[in-house]
């Protein structure tokens, strides 16, 4: 699991996990302040999230060629017991959130540009 950066107090590190939303999903999330997720999340009963080393493949598999995406970064520790690590793609453990994602869970969000048909994570990760 990737530890992405130090906390301001220097005592521990944040483990960032990520959510990708389409523009309409992202706008609804901002307006309401919470979401049960995208249609796939609603169907599966949890919010699909990815670790830093998983999110590029998530974008390539589930959002291939889609423009107008947003990447949200979340501190895994803030999600408490509602966050479960479950085997998925290739047996890798993925973070799954078993409650609504709340605006206060999000540390930052940025557009995820599509360049030459590929999502450019550039400085985001």
pLDDT of residue 6: 41
Please list the ranges in the chain whose pLDDT falls under 70: 1-13
Q: What is the pLDDT of the chain when averaged over all its residues?
A: 90
pLDDT of residue 86: 94
Q: Tell me 54's DSSP state.
A: T
* Residues contacting residue 19 through CB under 8 Å, at least 6 positions apart: 37, 47, 48, 49, 50, 71, 72, 74, 101
pLDDT of residue 34: 98
The domain made up of 14-117 is a member of CATH 3.20.170.20 = yes
- The tens digit of pLDDT for each residue in 86-120 reads 998 788 899 999 999 999 999 999 999 999 999 99
Instruction: Write down the pTM of the prediction.
Output: 0.87
User: In whole angstroms, what separates CA 85 from the centre of its chain?
Assistant: 14
């Amino acid at each position: 699991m990737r530890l992405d950066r130090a906390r301001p107090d220097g005592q521990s590190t944040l483990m960032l996990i990520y959510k990708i939303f389409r523009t309409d999903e992202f706008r609804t999330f901002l307006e309401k302040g919470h979401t049960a997720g995208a249609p796939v999340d609603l169907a599966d009963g949890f919010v699909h999230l990815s670790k830093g080393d998983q999110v590029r493949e998530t974008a390539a598999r589930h959002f291939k060629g889609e423009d107008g995406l947003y990447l949200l970064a979340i501190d895994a520790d803030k999600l408490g017991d509602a966050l479960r690590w479950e085997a998925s793609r290739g047996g890798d453990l993925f973070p799954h959130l078993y409650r609504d994602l709340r605006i206060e869970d999000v540390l930052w969000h940025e557009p995820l540009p599509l360049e030459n048909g590929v999502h450019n994570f550039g400085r985001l990760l």
